[in-house]
Amino acid sequence: MKKNRNSLTIMCDTVHALMMREIKTRFGANRLGYFWAIAEPVAGVSVMALMFTLIGRSSVANIPVALFILTALLPFKLFTKLMTQLTSAVNANKALLAYRQVSAIDPVITRIIIELATYLIVYCLIFSFLAWLGFNVLPDDLLKVLAASVLVALLATGLGLMLCTANSYWKDVNKLVGMITLPMMIMSGVMFSATMIPPQYWYLVDWNPIFHATELSRAAYFSSYVTPLGSWFYLAMNALVIFSLGLTSFYVNRLRFITA
Amino acid sequence: MIHFENLNKYYATKKGRFYVFKDVNISLPTDRNIAVLGPNGVGKSTLIRMMGGADMPNRGRIHSKKKISWPLGLQGGLQGSLSARENVRFVARIHGYKNTKVIEQQVEDFAEIGQFFDEPVKNYSSGMRSRITFGLTMGFDFDFDVLLIDELGAVGDANFRKKSEKLLLEKYEKTKLIMVNHSMPALKKFCDAGLLIHQQNLVFFEKLDDAIKEYQDIYVR
């Protein structure tokens, strides 16, 4: 047995072990797993791009439809995927908490890393493919695109931590999360932008931080698109507050995960 | 020594809190092999799991400078969706091993469950599970000071029992046991001291025979 590992080394070893275990069950069960991780968002966007083409639109706000949807769909996917994955993070690894090296936060950290890595890979692959098809895929402001994604990730992590805590009290939380993701998709501006709806109806979506994120993500990607609604301040405040609340609820209940 | 300080443990039931341990203050020696005695539902497994870090007391704490194993029992410790090999890899990794091949091989050899070693653990019989759980600790060239064993031998066949007993006795000098088992002969074979759970408290006996006598006086009618 290895001696005198400090706490950080133990945590890294544990996260590494959990990561190997997660990758194995998620992708390795059948070889198609890796394929689906990429095929699912690609299929989603193809269907939507096709829909828009069929109703006669080939371009939205001078942006090609595929890019218009992708720049919003990908951050939205990151949000829902990360949130649902974190909701069940602890429960899915319950048996492994029997080892004292594994604490409740370790599976959460593991899943955050996996989701972010998957997101980056999918993002790059899809845009390389579009570039190969002849689209101009270089973002006008790369840093802002990244910033929007980071804020979405913070938001999703905060909500995921809260839901994970709630999940330890009430097992049906998973179903609830599944129920809200579809309406969220409509309200998050994946298929439309703020300029496409009349200002008197903005109140329907302007409370939604994810809507701000998709707007800002588009505006960062295409300088030709100026968002009338998206606010960095609103998104960042939401992300920070929800992330802090998530961490707090998780920390307060950290022993519950092991005992309950 | 394993120190218990003001240990409180209860389970929330529909009719209020059910206390398993109330204000336990005791220090257990780690140079003895201790048998934990008590009837069903009195908290033996809870005690083992708390000492192994798989469960937490509601109040108070357990601390020790010694290396204590994780609780070796039938429940917990193995992830059902993974195969035994993957479980072994996981345990090796969280203990800081980078190369897990050697350990995998050792556990596989010890467990002798053939092709099931690469099948999901959820499809195992309880005997096969106990072989893996036991093989896991043995696969490591471990240097635990205390090994926590919760009725692990109970489901094994004669062959496996002989093998695991032999291994335990080999490690006898260095590694001490804290053991739950309802078979008195098994306890007598391995343990020389006793720990009785009585009235939500722990009572330690230097001699196992005294503990068994007390256990029978209190609980056996």
Going residue by residue through chain B, which has 221 residues, state the pLDDT in tens, using 9 for 90 and above: 899 999 999 988 889 899 999 999 999 998 889 999 988 888 888 999 899 888 889 899 998 988 888 888 766 678 888 889 999 999 889 888 888 888 888 888 888 888 899 988 888 888 888 888 888 877 666 678 888 888 776 667 888 888 878 877 777 777 888 988 888 888 888 888 999 998 899 999 999 889 888 888 888 87
Q: Does the structure show a pLDDT above 90 at A244? A: yes
**What secondary structure does DSSP assign to chain A, as a single string?**
------HHHHHHHHHHHHHHHHHIIIIISSTHHHHHHHHHHHHHHHHHHHHHHHTT-SEETTEEHHHHHHHHHHHHHHHHHHHHHHHTHHHHTGGGGGSTT--THHHHHHHHHHHHHHHHHHHHHHHHHHHHHT-----S-HHHHHHHHHHHHHHHHHHHHHHHHHHHH-TTHHHHHHHHHHHHHHHTTSS--GGGS-GGGGGGTTT-HHHHHHHHHHHHH-TT---SS--HHHHHHHHHHHHHHHHHHHHHTTTHHHH-
Nearest CA among B106, B87, B95 for reference residue B69: B95
> How close A11 gets to chain B, by Cα (Å)?
8
Which residue from B55, B78, B142 is facing A258, i.e. has the nearest CB? B55
Q: Does residue A60 sit within a domain? A: yes
Q: In the CATH scheme, what architecture does the domain B1-69+143-221 have? A: 3-Layer(aba) Sandwich (3.40)
> How close B82 gets to chain A, by Cα (Å)?
7
Q: Does residue A245 sit within a domain? A: yes
Interface touch A99/B70, C-beta < 8 Å: yes
Q: Note which residues in 27-66 of chain B have CB less than 8 A from chain A.
A: 49, 52-56, 58
Interface touch B77/A99, C-beta < 8 Å: yes
A207: domain range? 7-259
B186 touches chain A (CB under 8 A): no
Q: What pLDDT shows up at residue A60?
A: 67
ipTM: 0.82
Buried b (16+ CB within 10 A) or exposed e, B143-164: ebbbbbbbbbbbbbeeebbebb
Interface touch B95/A101, C-beta < 8 Å: yes
Contacts of A21 in chain B (CB under 8 A): 79, 82, 86, 90
CA distance A13 to A9: 6
Nearest residue in A to B73, CA atom: A98
Cβ atoms of A31 and A7 closer than 8 Å: no
Q: What pLDDT shows up at residue B62?
A: 92
Q: Does residue A98 sit within a domain? A: yes
> How close B118 gets to chain A, by Cα (Å)?
13
Interface touch A1/B96, C-beta < 8 Å: yes
Q: Does residue A197 sit within a domain? A: yes
Q: Does residue A96 sit within a domain? A: yes
Split into its structural domains, chain A has a count of 1
Distances (CA, A) of A31 to A18, A37, B98: 20, 11, 25
Interface touch A98/B70, C-beta < 8 Å: yes
B119: phi then psi, degrees, rounded to nearest 5? -100, 155
Interface touch B95/A13, C-beta < 8 Å: yes
Interface touch A99/B49, C-beta < 8 Å: no
Q: Does the structure show a pLDDT above 90 at A124? A: no
Which residue's entry shows tokens 């345990």?
Answer: B91
Which residue from B55, B56, B143 is facing A1, i.e. has the nearest CB? B143
Nearest residue in A to B86, CA atom: A21
pLDDT above 70 coverage of chain A, percent: 92
Cβ atoms of B68 and B52 closer than 8 Å: yes
Neighbours of A156 (CB within 10 A): 27
Q: Does residue A2 sit within a domain? A: no
pLDDT bin (cut points 50, 70, 90) of residue A49 is: low
For A141-170, the pLDDT digits (tens) are 999 999 999 999 999 999 999 999 999 898
Q: What pLDDT shows up at residue A29?
A: 61
pLDDT bin (cut points 50, 70, 90) of residue A57 is: low
Contacts of A5 in chain B (CB under 8 A): 96
B91 touches chain A (CB under 8 A): yes
Q: Does residue A1 sit within a domain? A: no
**What secondary structure does DSSP assign to chain B, as a single string?**
-EEEEEEEEEEEETTEEEEEEEEEEEEE-SSS-EEEE--TTSSHHHHHHHHTTSS--SEEEEEESS-BPPPBSSSSSS-TTSBHHHHHHHHHHHTT-S--HHHHHHHHHHH--GGGGGSBGGG--HHHHHHHHHHHHHHTT---SEEEEES-GGG--HHHHHHHHHHHHHTTTT-EEEEE-S-HHHHHHH-SEEEEEETTEEEEESSHHHHHHHHHHHH--
Nearest residue in A to B81, CA atom: A25
CA distance A225 to A221: 8
Name the amino acid, one letter, at A143.
L
For A13-42, the pLDDT digits (tens) are 999 999 988 887 777 666 677 777 667 767
Name the amino acid, one letter, at B162.
K
Q: Does the structure show a pLDDT above 60 at A2? A: no
Cβ atoms of A94 and B55 closer than 8 Å: no
Q: Does residue A126 sit within a domain? A: yes
Q: Which of B95, B103, B118 to substitute to test the interface with A, most A CBs within 10 Å?
A: B95
Nearest CA among A159, A153, A160, A125 for reference residue A213: A153
Nearest residue in A to B78, CA atom: A95
Nearest CA among B206, B218, B217, B213 for reference residue B28: B206
> How close B152 gets to chain A, by Cα (Å)?
16
Interface touch B49/A2, C-beta < 8 Å: no
Listed by start position, the domains of chain B span 1-69+143-221, 77-141
